[in-house]
Structure 1
Amino acid sequence: MSGSANTTAAWSTIPTELKLTVASGLDTHDVKALSAVDRSTYEICVPFMFKYITIGDFATLLRFLEEVPRSYYRHIEELDLSTQIDLLDGSSTLECRTEAVVALLLATRRLSKLTLRVGGSLGSSVVAPFNCLHNLKHLKIMNLCDEVDSPLSERLVVSMAASLPCLQHLSLDRITRSKFHAPELEGVFPFVPVVINDDDLPDHPVLGSELSLPSLLRIPTLRELAVRDTHLGDHRWATTPIDCQLQILDLGSCYHETEEVNSVCTQRIMAAVGPTIDEFSLNTTVNDAVFARPSATPLQRLRKLHISPFFPVDSVVDTMSTLAGSPIESLSMQCYEDDVVDVCSALEEFLNLRVERGPDFYGNLSKINLSVTTTDDITPTSEEQEERLAAFRRLEDFCRDLKLSTAMEHAVAVPGAGEKMRTNCSPVHEERCPPRFCMGAL
């Protein structure tokens, strides 16, 4: 006991500046432990404990607003916020959800990274705080609900993104087209969902009422854009003035449309923003011959190409041939375990074609990586594992002969989620930080 008392006494004599230095060098778990030493130490640790915050649902957001001192909000730099609601909770109205999100964002002026997982839409007043978030450079917005029952309007999302003064990285998932911008989609096969009654959204100072998805290209600070599970059929992608210098582009597909339609939509956007793109993630086939000619392709600077696990394996060789006009140096392909053998065979076929066509065909290519997405609920047999490993080793040997580096990585997929989801963790001080607030790296 005396040793503990002496240690505490010794800690209390250390200057505050040194205590801050100690706290800044600790990981989340250790800084929470340190905060329990005494009240003054807790106050020193607060900025580090609240730097990264995850709020897992709307009920937790309400408790956070009620129980965490508002003065702590200013320390939040990265926020992962979900407004997911209990369907049996009739009190979780759109107005209530919107007010809660606005209250939190207005007090997080140091925010640099925001992930907003929307469980049901939000009201137009949610746009107002975004004008004040001058440090926010990374924004991710995803709709957790079904588009038909709870759509998230493109007009609302574009207004939010365009209101940020310094936005550089934007990622959007499952955003719904607005009838205001896409009246031709309403009631027409294949019955792509559209949002109605969102034409009352206030005009943006720069974009005015033109809040369609293509208007994202008018955000001058934007450098990275990802749009997934969203209808990309707006023809304005080809005509909207481009005020940004996009370097990274990630385009998914719309599951309401066919592969052919998704391909046309993707190629339209590629042609519009291609001249500045260095890195591209592809989800659909590309067959426009213009991309195969070095002198004509819009993708004059494309160095890194990523192919998603949803890409049709039997189109790998044709699409790679179509993109031969770009100076691609690195190819990474993600696939599911069941597709490993087919993907390796497709890559071998592409490399054979590269050998046949000579040094002008993918002459800059130096690296091929394969990322295998595994699932916890499916265990392959030993024969399947051996077959997949043998397929990769054949690919690896072929790459080695061509003096290409290659690697295979494994990633665990969470069923029903597009990324690794985070759970809530216990608080460091329950009287100050209620349960289910996760204070840690996002």
Structure 2
Amino acid sequence: MSSTSSWHTLPCEMQRAIVDILQDEDVDALSKVDQRTYKACVPAKFKKVKLNDYEAVESFFENVPRDYCRYIEELDISTQHRFNTTPVLPRIRAETVISLLTASSSLISLVLRVAGSLDKSVITPFPHLYNLKRLHIVNQDDARTPLSERLVVSIAASVKNLEELSLERITRSQMHAPELEGVYPCPPLVTNDSDIPDHPLLGSQLALPSLLRIPTLRNLTIRDTHLGHEGWNSSPVTCHLQVLDIGSCYHEDSGFNTRCTERIMAAVGPTIDEFSLTAAVSDSSVFSEPSATPLPRLRKLHISPFFPVDSVVETMTNLAGSPVEKISVQCFEEDVVDVCSALEEFLSIRVQRGPSFYHKLKQIDVSVTTEEDHEDDAEDEESKQERTAAAEKLQAFCRDLQLQSIVDKLAKNKKNSAVAPTSFVDAKRYPVKGRSNTL
């Protein structure tokens, strides 16, 4: 009996169990054996789908049986056009997204990259995505087409079991930020979004602080977004956030971003276990005292590469009231020496202050990142040696203090990064009646 015949004698459930433990490239190879095997591989092949532009979304609909969408668990889609074509009406764009989401009943994770406005009707499928736990919404073109906070908050609050929410480049609504009108410099404001209907839970209060009223939410990330709403002080908090990642707004100065960060930290701090900082923390009277800090459970502190290096020591010192066990700092290659120096200064302060200062600290890590548009230009040997020396000196200091430490000297090669979900733009499959053969 041939190996193919042996394979086909296995029950469908056993075939799928075997397929589930294969790597993506192996699943792709196996699916090309014959049509029966392809059908057994369909759930695995469509478990993760990435559609890089609006044309890919349309092509997906034209070439993939709608029934296959029920196997999608992780979906990453963009509404940006591949070429400069005639703009699509927001209603048409929304209908395309609605059709895909409605068919994806098993969806657990969704990344929605929006380029251009979406009609309010896009909210419709979200209350029915009962398995959806992770939602990431990013505006790819906020300079020309803002994405209203009212729309985004309504979408997030409509997801019944949402646990992780990530938002990037969301624009404040004029309805919730009248105080910003006429202010210079004025951050962008969305108008004409009053037609977004009231939400069953939030009513008409669809400003960003209302996200704290989503009871299932555990992980919140907001980046490149204006966070100046006073509601962060007064909005009821019914979620139990464990991870908070707050970025800064490039329309405001560092002082404003610091005040916004501290205000949000104070609102949700009691349950926070992990926190990522982009703006400095300057209020030492509150955050440095264990009896007063709003972050009594903070164990993991992350500092982003956009954090001002000059504020590293001050901010870490000001957070001494929290039981921090691990500090991880991301930085660009040109900042490695300064970051290592700042961390050494912080550790010197820790030695001077005695055992009660950061007494829970066990580990300090430094990782090096590369800007998206950065090219790997040849560097002089002296710069590399400086980074290496700074990293080794910091690690030696950590060893003396019996702290674990991992310090990178160079940015990790992007070529070695994890493989992204399969894009189906160029995928091939077996012919289905009435459909074309390739995407």
Please, which of 4, 24, 31 is the counterpart of residue 28 of structure 1?
24
One-letter identity of the residue aligned with 2:401: L
User: Is the 1:60–1:436 Cα contact (8 Å) retained in structure 2?
Assistant: no
Structure 1 residue 6: Cα displacement? 2.8
In structure 2, the partner of 1:353 is 349
Structure 1 residue 22: Cα displacement? 1.6
Cα distance between partner residues in 2 of 1:378 and 1:294? 46
Structure 1 residue 424: Cα displacement? 3.6
Q: Deviations over 1:173-211 (max 9, x none)?
A: 000000010012123111100100001001101101100
Where in structure 1 do 4 or more consecutive aligned residues deviate above 6 Å?
Answer: 419-423, 433-437
Cα distance between partner residues in 2 of 1:403 and 1:412? 27
In structure 2, the partner of 1:440 is none
SS at match of 1:81: strand
One-letter identity of the residue aligned with 1:337: E
After the TM superposition, which of the residue ranges 403-412 and 304-313 deviates more from structure 2?
Answer: 403-412
TM-score of the pair, normalised by structure 2: 0.93
In structure 1, the partner of 2:128 is 132
In structure 2, the partner of 1:380 is 379
In structure 2, the partner of 1:175 is 170
| Structure 1 residue 61 corresponds to structure 2 residue 57 | yes
Cα distance between partner residues in 1 of 2:279 and 2:113? 25
SS at match of 1:293: coil
SS at match of 1:256: coil
In structure 1, the partner of 2:159 is 164
In structure 1, the partner of 2:250 is 255
| Structure 1 residue 235 corresponds to structure 2 residue 230 | yes
User: Is the 2:35–2:430 Cα contact (8 Å) retained in structure 1?
Assistant: no
In structure 2, the partner of 1:71 is 67
Cα distance between partner residues in 2 of 1:96 and 1:230? 27
Structure of greater relative contact order (alpha carbons < 8 Å, 6+ residues apart):
1
User: Is the 1:158–1:213 Cα contact (8 Å) retained in structure 2?
Assistant: yes
Please, which of 269, 273, 293 is the counterpart of residue 274 of structure 1?
269
SS at match of 2:340: helix
Structure 1 residue 35: Cα displacement? 1.6
User: Is the 2:49–2:422 Cα contact (8 Å) retained in structure 1?
Assistant: no
Cα distance between partner residues in 1 of 2:83 and 2:23? 37
Structure 1 residue 165: Cα displacement? 0.4
Change (3 A) 1:435 1:13: closer
| Structure 1 residue 85 corresponds to structure 2 residue 78 | no
User: Share of identical aligned residues, percent?
Assistant: 54
Q: Deviations over 1:360-416 (max 9, x none)?
A: 1111111000011134433322111111000000000000000001002455588xx
Change (3 A) 1:435 1:316: farther
Written as runs of structure 1 = structure 2, the 5 A alignment for 1:80-159 is 80-86=76-82, 88-145=84-141, 147-159=142-154
One-letter identity of the residue aligned with 1:267: E
User: Is the 2:91–2:121 Cα contact (8 Å) retained in structure 1?
Assistant: no
Q: Deviations over 1:110-133 (max 9, x none)?
A: 100001111112110000100000
One-letter identity of the residue aligned with 1:406: S
After the TM superposition, which of the residue ranges 326-335 and 41-50 deviates more from structure 2?
Answer: 41-50
Structure 1 residue 332: Cα displacement? 0.3
Written as runs of structure 1 = structure 2, the 5 A alignment for 1:201-350 is 201-288=196-283, 289-350=285-346
Cα distance between partner residues in 2 of 1:309 and 1:405? 21
User: Is the 1:376–1:412 Cα contact (8 Å) retained in structure 2?
Assistant: no
Cα distance between partner residues in 1 of 2:419 and 2:354? 41
One-letter identity of the residue aligned with 2:79: T
Cα distance between partner residues in 1 of 2:172 and 2:420? 26
Cα distance between partner residues in 2 of 1:413 and 1:119? 29
Structure 1 residue 257: Cα displacement? 0.0
User: Is the 2:63–2:437 Cα contact (8 Å) retained in structure 1?
Assistant: no
Structure 1 residue ranges without an equivalent (≥5): 438-442
Change (3 A) 1:385 1:366: same
Cα distance between partner residues in 2 of 1:287 and 1:90? 49
One-letter identity of the residue aligned with 1:403: Q
RMSD: 2.0
SS at match of 1:324: coil
User: Is the 2:340–2:394 Cα contact (8 Å) retained in structure 1?
Assistant: yes
What is the count of residue pairs matched by the alignment?
A: 428
Change (3 A) 1:205 1:126: same
Change (3 A) 1:420 1:337: farther
User: Is the 1:52–1:79 Cα contact (8 Å) retained in structure 2?
Assistant: yes
